[in-house]
Amino acid sequence: MPRCLKFKVNIIRKEGKSMNLKTAWQETCKFIRMMQKSEPHVIAYLILTAAITAAVPFLPIYFSAQILNFLIAGQFPQAMQNVYWMIGFSVILGLSSKALNQRFLKLRDLSKYKIRQRVLEKAYQIEYEELEKAETIDEIRKADQGSNGGGGTGEQLRDLLQFLTMFFSMLYSLAFVSVLLVQIFTQAQDYWLPVSSLIFLFAVYAVVIMIGSRLSAKAGRLLQKMKRDNVHNNAMCGYIGNLGMSIQNGKDIRLYQMEDFLMELFDKTLISSRLYIDWGTNNGKINGVITFLTQLASGMTYLVIGIIAMQGTIGIGEVMLYANAILRFTTSLVTLAASYNNIAYRYEYLNSYEAFIQRPNMSYEGTLPVEKRDDGEYHLTFDHVSYRYPGQSETALKDISFDLELKKHFAVVGRNGAGKTTFIKLMCRLAEPTEGRILLNGIDIRKYAFEEYVQIFSVVFQDFKLMEMPLGENLAASANVDDQKAMRVLEEVGLSARVAGMDKGLKTQLGKENGEGILLSGGEAQKAAIARALYKDAPVVILDEPTAALDPLAEAEIYENFNELVKDKTSIFISHRMSSCKFCDEIVVFDHGQIVQRGTHDQLAGQPGLYQELWEAQAQYYRHSPQTMEMIGSQV
Ligand SMILES: Nc1ncnc2c1ncn2[C@@H]1O[C@H](COP(=O)(O)OP(=O)(O)OP(=O)(O)O)[C@@H](O)[C@H]1O
């Protein structure tokens, strides 16, 4: 992890509480270090852009005062000379400001993408078990906002640019005001009146700035609260919005006529919260008061500068110069306060990002390599394993002890919800036992490096998903596709003829959401998922309801091939199609999270118990039909 990212998250503040200057400064330093690490020149460009951009408006202010003074004095050549200077400097500074700004924006976007990349990278590393929790998804969402969305680094850099620009603008204004003070003290006959007027003006400004910054702080708090409260609403709106483009849900939406229902839900999600509306109303009021106060201060400024001018201390040109400089000072300060508040409050999101990036990878932290064995001798043992899903009171698996003997073919059967898939998830380390342990060749599987451990499994889950990518890349799970191997596994699952008919063959894009592609039928997709498992060629093959979508001939073909393919491997089939379990060496029956029976088909079918019930329930439909019994026979 880069050093800049190792800072401790320490500004978890109570909701609505302002961040003090010291903390804001510390957070800013951390943020700057983080940005510099991801894009080294971004901060240098930030400072340069702010310094130059802030100077641009002062050119016309300064030169128009000079020009006016020369014109009043009848010195036309000098006035013209100043016009040329003004145009020249304005062009140079204006262009430099634009060029710097462009470069800054480019670097800002680059660093933003790099930081977002880290969120994605981290999200991929999170244990699957954690990913199933709603709070983890929220955490990722917040971290993503901290890196990309409303609370993101891009916006933070934009506000920092505004803050610094206003800061430089104030410095330039103060330089002019200092000159004014020097002029008053050196040229005024009686400086009591100008000095007291200026003191009065500063007092007015102090009050305006104090009220203005408090109001800006409140506006910032409201904005952040609205964003914080809106994380779920945004996600829900995003979800419903995406349903409009979803091919997967498109059929159901149309056939169940869910359009009005979904639109209502969308409206409700937006309006019921009233978050945006409330925020907009309050923000409008606050901005109104700030504008009123700023205008009041502007009027006072002209009055005071007018008084000083009437004394003859400064000329007409200077009246414009100083009045504008002081006004710039005020507007810069109010904007600076607003940017400060946005910057300070956005650290909450950035800290969510930090907290997320720093979270440990818990169960994936084992380091032992898994011995590479050509003989596939991987021995898995469940030792009194129980498992309860996070937040659930029911135990999904209870005290499972099981030896996955080498190169044996197992079938796992049981009623819906019996715990079959959970058993596989634990075996593949997608969840960790709540009690007990799982061993690979005698060693607790948590001790192995996760990426090495999962190498030994080829799994097709019941709810498998193919990616919207080219078919070949789907099979290889990589951009490097071994075409020959890919075609061989497609042949084995009976999909090669279909692929041969595709114009782009293995390069054919799957799905429609990621560019023009083809839609596979349910059975074809299942064959492709099985082909992906075969391509991986791991020593343990697990198929969870592998043939549910296949036609009987395809199913028979797959089983025939599978017997051959898994001959030297350990395999587990989960199936509700009892006939397909007959060919396995051992059948394991799950019920209510426990293993209740084990044996061969002949043993279990002949004794009273759940297996017999399940078998009988299916077999009765075939009993009176010799053809169908024949069909079952052919499949097994
Ligand atoms: N992510 C989850 N969070 C909470 N409970 C879950 C989760 N996944 C599964 N369960 C619950 O755990 C129990 C076992 O589920 P599991 O998916 O292992 O059953 P199964 O035997 O594979 O069922 P099926 O035959 O229907 O596929 C069920 O009661 C299920 O509702």
> Per CATH, which fold does 380-463+540-635 belong to?
Rossmann fold (3.40.50)
How far from each other are the two terminal CA atoms of the chain, in whole angstroms? 53
Q: How far is the CA of 138 from the centre of ligand 1 (A)?
A: 23
- Which of 389, 425, 578 gets mutated to test ligand 1 (max ligand atoms within 8 A of its CB)? 389
Cα–Cα distance measured from residue 99 to residue 386, given in angstroms and rounded to the nearest whole number: 63
- Phi and psi at residue 433, to the nearest 5°: -55, 140
- Which residue is closest in CA terms to ligand 1's atom 16? 419
Residue 83: closest CA among 64, 57, 69: 64
Mean pLDDT by 10 residues, the chain (636 residues): 33 49 83 84 94 93 88 89 93 95 91 84 84 82 63 82 94 88 75 80 84 79 73 75 78 80 80 70 86 84 81 78 84 81 75 79 72 74 94 92 87 93 93 93 90 90 86 91 92 88 88 77 87 91 79 72 75 84 88 94 90 83 54 46
Token output for 19: 């961040």
203 burial type by CB count under 10 A (0-12 exposed, 13-18 middle, 19+ buried)? exposed
Q: List the one residue out of 408, 424, 429, 386 whose CA is nearest residue 570.
A: 408
| 477 closest CA partner among 502, 494, 450, 455 | 455
Distance of CA 414 from the midpoint of ligand 1 (Å): 12
Looking at the domain 3-230+273-361, which fold is it? Answer: ABC transporter transmembrane region fold (1.20.1560)
Q: Ligand 1, atom 12: nearest CA belongs to which residue? A: 396
Q: Which of 387, 421, 463 to probe ligand 1 with, by most ligand atoms within 8 A of CB? A: 421
Nearest one of 566, 586, 536 to 410, comparing CA atoms? 586
Structure tokens at 541: 């093959």
Return the residue whose CA atom lies nearest to atom 2 of ligand 1.
Answer: 389
Contact between 60 and 89 (Cβ < 8 Å):
no
The Cα–Cα gap between 286 and 294 comes to 12
- Would you list the domain boundaries of the chain? 3-230+273-361, 380-463+540-635
Buried b (16+ CB within 10 A) or exposed e, 115-128: bbebbeebbeebbe
Q: Which of 387, 392, 394, 420 to mutate to test the pocket of ligand 1 (most atoms within 8 A of CB)?
A: 420
pLDDT of 5 reads 32
pLDDT tens-digit map of 391-431: 888 999 999 999 888 788 899 999 999 999 999 999 999 89
Q: What DSSP string runs through 454-491?
A: GGGEEEE-TT----SSBHHHHHHTSS---HHHHHHHHH
pLDDT at 16: 46
CA of 594 from ligand 1 middle (Å) equals 13
Q: Which atom of ligand 1 is nearest to the CA of 424?
A: 18
Q: Tell me which residue of 614, 12, 73 sits closest to 318, measured CA to CA.
A: 73
Distance 632 CA to ligand 1 centre (A): 28
Structure-block tokens of residue 37: 């690490």
The reported pLDDT for the residue numbered 359 is: 80
231 CA to middle of ligand 1, Å? Answer: 28
State both tokens at 345: 């409050």
Q: Which CA distances in Å does 594 have to 46, 589, 599?
A: 62, 8, 15
Own/partner long-range contacts of 35-41 (Cβ < 8 Å, ≥24 apart): 35/111, 35/153, 35/157, 36/4, 37/2, 37/3, 37/4, 37/5, 38/110, 38/111, 38/114, 38/115, 39/107, 39/108, 39/110, 39/111, 39/114, 41/107
Instruction: Write the residue with the smallest CA distance to atom 23 of ligand 1.
Output: 417
d(CA 576, CA 568): 25
Nearest ligand 1 atom to the CA of 397 is: 14
Q: Are 409 and 585 in contact (CB under 8 A)?
A: yes
Calculate how far, in angstroms, residue 438's C-alpha sits from the geometric centre of ligand 1: 20
Residue closest by Cα to atom 26 of ligand 1: 416
CA–centroid distance, residue 593 to ligand 1 (Å): 9
Measured CA to CA, the distance from residue 506 to residue 491 in angstroms comes to: 13
Percent of the chain with pLDDT over 90: 26
Q: What is the pLDDT of residues 125-150, one digit of tens each?
A: 888 888 888 788 878 877 776 555 45
DSSP string, 11-29: --PPTTPPPPHHHHHHHHH
The number of the ligand 1 atom at minimal distance from the alpha carbon of 415 is 25
The Å distance, Cα 473 to ligand 1 centre, comes to 30
Return the ligand 1 atom nearest residue 132 CA. Answer: 1
Name the residue at shortest CA distance from atom 24 of ligand 1: 416
Distance, in Å, from the CA atom of 297 to the CA atom of 206, rounded to the nearest integer, reads: 10
Nearest to 562 by CA among 543, 549, 576: 543
Taking CA atoms only, the protein residue closest to ligand 1 atom 29 is: 417
pLDDT of residue 626: 52
How far is the centre of ligand 1, averaged over its atoms, from the C-alpha of 576 (Å)?
A: 15
Atom of ligand 1 nearest to the CA of 462: 27
Distance CA 305, CA 177 (A): 11
Asked whether 538 and 531 are in contact (CB, 8 A), the reply is no
Percent of the chain with pLDDT over 70: 88
ipTM higher than 0.90?
Answer: yes
Q: Which residues line ligand 1 (CB under 6 A)?
A: 132, 389, 392, 396, 414, 416-422, 462
Ligand 1, atom 17: nearest CA belongs to which residue?
421
- Give residue 618 CA to ligand 1 midpoint distance, Å: 23
For the chain, the C-alpha Rg in angstroms (whole number) is: 36
For residue 184, give both structure tokens.
Answer: 């008053």
Nearest CA to ligand 1 atom 20: 417
- Say how many Å lie between the CA of residue 417 and the centre of ligand 1: 5
**Atom 27, ligand 1: residue with shortest CA distance:** 416
